[in-house]
Amino acid sequence: MHYDTATGRHGLKFDPFKALAVPRPIGWIGTLGADGQPNLAPYSFFNAVSDRPPMVVFSSGGHKDSLRNILANGEFTCSLSTLDLRDQMNMSSATVAAGVDEFALAGLTATPGVTVRAPRVGESPAAFECKLWKTLDMPSPADGKGVTYTVVFGLVTGIYIDDAFIRDGIVDTPAMKPLARLGYMDYSVLSPETVFSLNRPTVAADGRSASVVPGPWDGVYR
């Protein structure tokens, strides 16, 4: 099948876009309101966009509490959502009234950041502390329906990692079992059983061919 996204006439029960742009990391965004009230919410449009400097991005549909707080104080955290914290992550997505502390609602600990005042999820094995770089308002939907998204770019100023997941100088990410967002109400999980390595191709001296050296990674990014 093929369909024009401007018309949205795909003939399916639901828009398939988010079921195909997968897997997506979950941006579990922690912020502080102007009154010091903690706020926590998961965002499925999230990813890293640069490592030098380290920067992340997430997109908010409409002016939600997270976006308002970030615009007010210029900072946020992003905690890793894991299999063990799946129910808490889901609960923190509830569209409760403004001023409700989603950390408390989900039974989580709001742990202050080191380089930012915004709290991270204390139970999460890793978190980014971020300063707002800029926001970008996306185009409105072609059909005029739905909300307009705002993209938030954050400069990562600090990173928390649970020491239990650092082994031989490398972060054991699969052991954390991070969640991934799929389409509809579906999620997946990264685990040691689903991770494999591929060495990058080494280009020949004449630049006209390449080969992949088998064996363990030599520690060089190519």
Apex CA 67: angle with CA 150 and CA 106, to 5°?
A: 125
- 58 φ, ψ (degrees, to nearest 5): -145, 160
Report the alpha-carbon distance of residue 122 to residue 70 in Å, rounded: 20
CB atoms inside a 10 Å sphere around CB 116:
23
Q: What is the pLDDT of residue 17?
A: 92
Q: 128-160: per-residue pLDDT in tens?
A: 999 999 999 999 887 777 789 999 999 999 999
Arithmetic mean of pLDDT, 120-130: 98
What pLDDT digit, counting tens, does each position of 171-222 carry? 999 999 999 999 999 999 999 999 999 999 999 999 999 999 898 888 888 7
Break the chain down into helix, strand, coil percent, rounded to 5. Answer: 15, 35, 50
> 170 φ, ψ to 5°?
-130, 140
Alpha carbons 132 and 152: distance in angstroms, whole number: 7
State how far Cα 165 lies from the chain centre. Answer: 19
Contact 157, 117 (CB under 8 A): no
Under the phi-then-psi rule, with left for phi > 0, alpha for psi from -120 to 50, and beta for the rest, what region is 103? alpha
Please indicate whether residue 127 or residue 213 has the higher confidence score (pLDDT).
127
Output the pLDDT for position 203.
93
CB 153 within 8 A of CB 57: yes
| Residue with the larger pLDDT of the pair 99 and 199 | 199
Question: Whole-angstrom Cα distance, residue 46 to residue 139?
Answer: 18
Neighbours of 6 (CB within 10 A): 9
Residues 6+ apart with CB under 8 A from 3: 9, 10, 11
Give the domains, in start order, of the chain with CATH numbers. 18-197 (2.30.110.10)
d(CA 42, CA 30): 9
What is the per-residue pLDDT for 165? Answer: 98
Residue with tokens 């990813």: 47
**What is the CA 189 to chain-centroid distance, rounded?**
14
Count of alpha carbons within 13 Å of 182, Cβ hemisphere only? 7
Where residue 11 falls (left for φ over 0; alpha for ψ -120 to 50; beta otherwise) is: left
16-61 confidence digits (pLDDT tens): 999 999 999 999 999 999 889 999 999 999 999 999 999 999 999 9
